[in-house]
Amino acid sequence: MNYRRKLMAAIAITIIITVGVATITDSLRQYLFFDWKVEENDQFVYNVSVVGYRESGHFFYPIPQAVLNNSYILIELVTLPNKSIILSGNQFSEQIIEYMKTDVVFENGTEIPLTLYSELDTVCSRCFLPVGPWPILDSFYPDTIPEFVNQTIESYLSRSLREEFSVGHYSYEDQRGYVWLTITSTITGVPSVMTYSAWNFSGLVKYFYNVTMSLIDCN
């Protein structure tokens, strides 16, 4: 009889623990779950503006990115990563941000010059985000870029902006740097603005350029 009571008590405790863990797991799942509001084959049109220069021997030359200035590009979502429960910044950057999602052409169907395509497409791909618990995502990364003072630094960054969310990445080493940023809708995960900059202020050839893309239309 005593054995039977102990067995029933053990079973009851097991059920209580299992239900409790399931409830906690379900709550965490909802709390950390990111879902896509866009679909594969969705298309978006952006206006592109470019500024910059290239200097060599005290002479200034046009930058290759200048061919994108005042153009319109068409971004198509080719593939999307699976819906995810995100537990860390590294997981989000590896599984979501760096996952290649897009293909980019000029709005009229002309291909982007090969020398510019990879950088442009990679930045665009990084900027489309799933929708989820933005405060949690914001806590994964620092809010601002620190001052560049003779050091090597590299990090993602993020900031909540009411109905929009900004995320990006910067790297800097010995007067050379690269930054990309997006301002993305917290409702749709579609970026309203995407931008990237690169610079090199040392060596024989110095340069700076910025490419900014603003949302015009979506299909």
Residue 29 sits in the same domain as residue 82: no
Q: Do 182 and 197 share a structural domain?
A: yes
Same domain, 40 and 7: no
Are residue 103 and residue 176 in the same domain, yes or no? yes
Higher-confidence residue of 189 and 204: namely 189
Mean pLDDT, residues 75-84: 90
- Per-residue pLDDT of 118-147, as tens digits, reads 999 999 999 999 998 999 899 999 887 766
What pLDDT sits at residue 86?
A: 79
Are both 10 and 50 inside the same structural domain?
no
* pLDDT of amino acid 181: 95
Q: Domain range spanning residue 30?
A: 1-34
**Both 69 and 144 in a single domain?**
yes
Q: Are residues 113 and 132 in the same domain?
A: yes
**Number of domains, the chain:** 2
Task: Compare 179 and 153 and report the one with higher pLDDT.
Answer: 179
Same domain membership, residue 193 and residue 156: yes
The confidence score (pLDDT) of residue 46 equals 97
- Average pLDDT taken over every residue of the chain: 84
Q: Give tens-digit pLDDT for 17-57.
A: 343 433 334 444 444 688 999 999 999 999 999 999 999 88
**Same domain, yes or no: 12 and 40:** no
Q: What is the pLDDT of residues 84-124, one digit of tens each?
A: 777 888 999 999 999 999 999 999 999 999 999 999 999 99
Q: Is the pLDDT of residue 153 over 90?
A: no
> Are 3 and 89 in the same domain?
no
Question: Are both 158 and 208 inside the same structural domain?
Answer: yes
Q: Quick one: 25 and 97 in the same domain?
A: no
Task: Tell me the pLDDT band of 5, cut-offs 50, 70 and 90.
Answer: low
The pLDDT of residue 211 is 96
pLDDT, residue 64, reads: 94
Closest-CA residue to 50 (of 125, 98, 111, 119): 119
Question: Would the pTM of this model clear 0.75, i.e. be above it?
Answer: yes
